[in-house]
A and B are shown apart, each in its own frame.
Chain A
Amino acid sequence: MIILFGMPIVQVLLFGFAITTDIKDAQIAILDKSNDYMTHEITNKLLSSGYFILGANLDKDDQIDKAFRKGNIREVVIFEKNFARQIETEKNASVQIIADASDPNMANLLFNYTQSILMDYQRNLFKDKKFPLQIQTETRMLYNEELKSVYMFVPGTITILLMLISAMMTSISIAKEKEMGTMEVLLVSPLKPFQIIVGKVIPYVILSCVNACLILLISFFVLGMPVQGSLIFLLAETVLFIFMSLSLGIFISTVSQTQQIAMMLSMFALMLPTILLSGFIFPIENMPLPLQYFSMIMPSRWFIIIIKGIMLKGSTIFFLWKETLILVGLTLFFITMSVKKFKVRLA
């Protein structure tokens, strides 16, 4: 009953709040080479718009790359030197906007907002002057010059697929043994719970790895996804994610009495939140705070960051150690819980 009615209600509420493509509190960095009254005014305007919050204040150009790699910064706004003087004397100054286009929709939106704020400022500033003045904006969409949406979708899709195959398939496997009655016979044997679990997992490890390779190959050759970073690193992280998903699947299996329950749990507890809350389509920053915290326990969220990082930005372990550690932790957690929850008797 709870599942039948409760789940949909919870989901609708959750996603109603989570699914928003409005920008709110996007983290940006400012590289102000002028530091004059005008740049400060513009900065203030940006930061008080409600769309942006200050993620970092940068001093040098070479900090930009690192800021993006770290993952929090969505956009960097760069004011050229002597901005105010440029405007007063030559009636012309430029602002460079660099956006992280690994999420091209987001990047586009941010860029548009930024630009409209600049235009607004420009209009207000020169409303009683007669000759045109201009704040020129140069844009660069980083990591995804052409704003290909595939760059956004493929990492998410890879994550979903791996999770689907690994977690859902293993989640049914143990539940199936219970339902078919073969579990009874396995229990009355010298086999330890650990052996039974590993025995069920191994074929899926192999299957999932083959699948992962296929998916990556297709992404690269057919869909045109780049792999800026180390391929070996990418594969290693993928294998880690596979293990994590498998252990999650096994855990669901040990607590489900029938395959049906296992399927429902995988579907509702895994699939949908993964798609909607992991930042795959809808940015996490736009979600209400409680949901943001909730998405922190979604392993898919961290893996998407990892995949995007490696494929689009060429990030190394140096930048992704935090996310990797989280995945390792989750894997160990699920495995431990599975062994603990595994019933050595029928009741």
Chain B
Amino acid sequence: MNLPVVVNDVHKAYGQVKALSGLSFEVKPGELFGFIGPDGAGKTTLFRILTTLLVPDAGSALVDGLDVVKDYKAIRKIVGYMPGRFSLYQDLTVEENLNFFAGIFKTTVKENYHLIEDIYKQIEPFKNRPAGKLSGGMKQKLALSCALIHKPKVLFLDEPTTGVDAVSRTEFWDMLKRLQHQGIAILVSTPYMDEASLCDRVALIQQGKLMDIDTPLAITNKLPGRMFAVTSPSMYTLLLELQQYTRAVSAYPFGDSIHLHVTDDSFNISDLETYLTGKGQKGFGIKTIQAGIEDCFMFLMEKHHAHV
């Protein structure tokens, strides 16, 4: 059986700007694979190459064993693609859009309904509404249905949750997890770090380079040192003080606490307590926590000097 996706040292530049620099990785059959990275990391470029819309400058890529340059026609028959922005027909209704996409892939909605049933049920009440008049969350669901209706072997979802509210985002990922049971390999790109933990494996991308690729758990386990969450009644001063704390590698605000990253093995929480008390902090709290993907992403960014 062919691997759903194989990428080998792919490069792509737009004029002076290098979008992808030597990317290599593989996706396993039936995997829910996430590409995590901010805008400009190269996610869309990568997806466009894999869906045969762009040709790499160097390197090669295979989708289901087919070459993206030579066998593009064959690839286009077996992949499902949901581009970064809503790309369905705004003036066709929900139902019409679905029928259209079923038609061009020479299948019918009935044939593969079981694949999209879960998702479609949620928008079915609106099936006669023009797609342009749906809410962001509904549009997503429709686009996903249209990408699935022909039972693709590999599904490419380019930032499907961007700009969508938190509720719809959660629902969307629930749907993806259920889809996994169908044996379709799903590649998703997203700038939201918290969504990484929902994938089987993730690739952390920044400025066209792969910083790491592994299961979310492995990535967070790989982070050297320890992570602490520090709180205090005066958060702003706490932040400044922690940023000046030489024994820590980094101090970043994370919602209601500050994540402090320490790689020094001889470090003790009591050292920090002493430091903070010395600065006049009262009523602070220090907890040891497991690092998250975002912590790791930022650590890797610093390591690769990849931030500006």
Contacts and interface: CB of A to CB of B under 8 A. Distances in A.
B53 A187 contact: yes
B188 interface: no
Given A185-B81, A188-B81, A345 B89 contact: no
A182 B104 contact: no
Interface residues of A, number: 15
A184 interface: yes
B89 A182 contact: yes
A188 B52 contact: yes
A243 to B, nearest CB: 24
B177 interface: no
Nearest to A184: B83
A344 B48 CA distance: 13
A190 B101 CA distance: 11
B195 to A, nearest CB: 23
Nearest to A345: B53
A180 B90 contact: yes
Q: Which of B72, B104, B146 has the most CB of A within 10 A?
A: B104
Main secondary structure of the interface of B (DSSP, over half): loop
A347 B54 contact: yes
Contact of B54 (A185, A190, A345): A345
B104 A346 contact: no
A346 B106 contact: no
Contact of B104 (A181, A190, A347): A190
A1 interface: no
B145 interface: no
A185 B72 contact: no
A114 B52 CA distance: 69
Contacts of B55: 345, 347
A186 B53 CA distance: 11
Interface string A185-199: 111111100000000
Interface string A310-338: 00000000000000000000000000000
Interface of B: 48, 51-55, 72-73, 76-77, 79, 81, 83, 85-90, 101, 104-106, 146
6 nearest interchain CB pairs? A181-B87, A188-B81, A346-B53, A190-B77, A188-B51, A185-B87
Interface of A: 180-182, 184-191, 344-347
18 contacts: A181-B83, A181-B86, A181-B87, A182-B89, A184-B53, A184-B83, A185-B88, A186-B104, A188-B51, A188-B79, A188-B81, A189-B101, A189-B104, A190-B76, A344-B72, A346-B48, A346-B53, A347-B54
